Amino acid sequence: MSVRVRFAPSPTGALHIGGVRTALYNYLIAKKNNGTFILRIEDTDQGRFVHGAEEYVREALKWCGIEPTEGQGYQGVHAPYRQSERKDLYSIFIRKLIENGQAYYAFDTESELEHMRDRLANEGVPAPKYDSTVRLIMKNSLSLDSEATKAWLESGKPYVIRLLVRPGEQVSFYDTIRGEVSFNTSELDDKVLIKADGMPTYHFANVVDDHLMEISHVIRGEEWISSTGHHLLLYQAFGWSHPEFAHLPLIMRPDGKGKLSKRDGAKFGIPVFPLSWNGASPEESFIGFKEYGFEPEATLNFLAFLGWNPGTEQEIFSLDELVKAFDISRVHLGGARFDIDKAKWFNQQYIRQMSINEIRAKLTPILNEQNRNITDQKLDSIIKLFQERIHLIKEIPEQAAYLFAEVEAVDTDALKKQWKPELKDKIIAYTSELAKLNSFESQALEHFAKEKLKDFNLKPGEVFPIFRLALAGSLHGPTVFQMLEILQGEGLERIKKRINHFSSII
């Protein structure tokens, strides 16, 4: 049987990064087995539909580089791939269940359902539900005669269709990650299959579509394990074989306390979506991995390791390498902690592998937004200097601000420790001597500068920290000579100008 997997998000908002990981694992399984990766939009809950969410999903998958080969927005023989457009098809299959006695009409109002749950709770039932213990005392086609049922259906009053779950049976499946999983049907409710608006619930549409689209493997989050019992009953009711299941572990918050949610992005100051999302309010708007500064390849590499390990020491994988190495059976059972520092480490490794031209192409739009005008030659020199130091490309103009423009602020605490007023004139004279050097190549400049110290009876510790403070405003960053190589004569003039003002700063 050919491998066919699907990623089936609901268009209820931005795609969570956990959903991207699910999509990635499905993509890897498909590619490794020369199979098909399908995008299906599960929009049966029309009340939660959010405009633009479907387009967001496709753009996110495209940015990540894991586009489907079939599905909504792509070609395919099983169209339509948007569930709201498959309503007539679901009607055909629900009728089969009703005719076979596997499903029934339920006419209970919301107040009647609430009354039933309250009564059971008062009787000490721990989890009140609509099941075999109550169905015959509720208002449905099992408790009413055929005439009453027909009259209700013809009246136009709302009703739902429920799955008939027979108690006392065992249903089980083998989870590729978790092993054998079993359910006793006495613990399952008579799940609603068709809602009062005529739309199918997730459970019903999911099973019908997976069968019709010939899905071979269902790879989804562990929150769906509890629903799988009902899905198995539906497969049995139709006489269909079910796909292989694999339920992925949760992605945990950075502190390891609970599942990572969209709110955690704002709380921890981290991206939890692939692309930025502008919601109806500031509270519903979030920055994405892309806008935060992550490379798509690094993002996928990071996500692949959130719950999976190749069994080797290798951590940096191209997408093709992930396809070859990925094994769903090596996915962990326990939740994976979302470590943004590890994500930045992955990004750093990819930046180090990039060419200067690639980095410049990504950096130039950022500089244009900041109105920083700089020649390509100077920019390339800055990139070479900081490529090994940064985790995100956008950090270059932040960390190298003093190379783009003169820095006004100086670390006065550091200056107080380093500044010796009595050496001011001697250091300025020494600086003027450095300006006579024809080459500002950092190694040549460093050799000349250190040799020239002897002529002025100066020590490196008396001069170079002052130079660094004059150029960068702090004692952090690359060497003084690397800075001067980029700034050329402008740097020495900046040093002399700053030294003349250091006494007044202190």
The per-residue pLDDT for 49 is: 87
pLDDT in tens, 65-83: 999 999 999 989 999 999 9
The per-residue pLDDT for 263 is: 87
The per-residue pLDDT for 262 is: 86
Pairing of strands 217-221, 244-248: parallel
Average pLDDT over residues 92-116: 97
Residue 270 lies in a domain: yes
DSSP for 389-451, written as a single string: T-SSTTHHHHHTHHHHS------HHHHHHH--GGGHHHHHHHHHHHTT-S---HHHHHHHHHH
Do 57 and 14 belong to one domain? yes
pLDDT in tens, 237-259: 999 999 999 999 999 999 998 99
Residue 422 lies in a domain: yes
pLDDT higher than 80, residue 1: no
Do 321 and 290 belong to one domain? yes
Split at pLDDT 50, 70, 90, the class of 333 is: very high
Last residue of a domain, one of 322, 353, 384: 353
Contact 53, 168 (CB under 8 A): no
Query: In the chain, how many domains are there?
Result: 3
Contact 414, 470 (CB under 8 A): no
pLDDT higher than 90, residue 173: yes
**Residues of the chain with pLDDT > 70: what percent?**
100
Residue 120 lies in a domain: no
Do 269 and 312 belong to one domain? yes
Average pLDDT over residues 55-71: 97
Do 391 and 422 belong to one domain? no
Could you tell me the CATH number of the domain that includes residue 462?
1.10.10.350
Residue 296 lies in a domain: yes
Average pLDDT over residues 462-470: 96
Average pLDDT over residues 172-191: 97
pLDDT higher than 90, residue 9: yes
Average pLDDT over residues 224-230: 97
pLDDT higher than 90, residue 359: yes
Amino acid (one-letter) located at 414: A
Split at pLDDT 50, 70, 90, the class of 260 is: very high
pLDDT higher than 80, residue 506: no
N-term to C-term CA, the chain = 78
- Give the domain range for residue 284: 1-71+249-353
- From the candidates 32, 62, 87, 262, give the one annotated as an active-site residue: 262
Do 419 and 375 belong to one domain? no
Do 342 and 288 belong to one domain? yes
Split at pLDDT 50, 70, 90, the class of 406 is: confident
pLDDT higher than 80, residue 472: yes
Do 261 and 317 belong to one domain? yes
CA distance linking residue 101 with residue 117, whole number of Å: 25
Question: 3-class SS at 360?
Answer: helix
Do 380 and 325 belong to one domain? no
Q: Which of 237, 246, 231 is nearest to 94 (CA)?
A: 237
Pairing of strands 251-252, 336-337: parallel
Last residue of a domain, one of 316, 332, 353: 353
Could you tell me the CATH number of the domain that includes residue 382?
1.10.8.70
Across 40-195, the runs of DSSP E, i.e. the strands, are 70-71, 103-106, 160-163, 170-175, 179-184, 192-194
CA distance linking residue 265 with residue 263, whole number of Å: 5
Do 269 and 342 belong to one domain? yes
Residue 264 lies in a domain: yes
pLDDT in tens, 125-168: 999 999 999 999 999 999 999 999 999 999 999 999 999 999 99
| Chain mean pLDDT for the chain | 95
Do 488 and 414 belong to one domain? yes
Could you tell me the CATH number of the domain that includes residue 51?
3.40.50.620
Residue 236 lies in a domain: no
What value does the CA radius of gyration of the chain take, rounded to a whole number of Å?
32
Residue 238 lies in a domain: no
Do 349 and 359 belong to one domain? no
Q: What is the pTM of this model?
A: 0.92
Q: Is 262 a catalytic residue?
A: yes
Last residue of a domain, one of 344, 366, 400: 400
pLDDT higher than 90, residue 198: yes
Average pLDDT over residues 370-392: 94
pLDDT in tens, 422-451: 999 999 999 999 988 888 999 999 999 999
Residue 204 lies in a domain: no
Do 339 and 417 belong to one domain? no
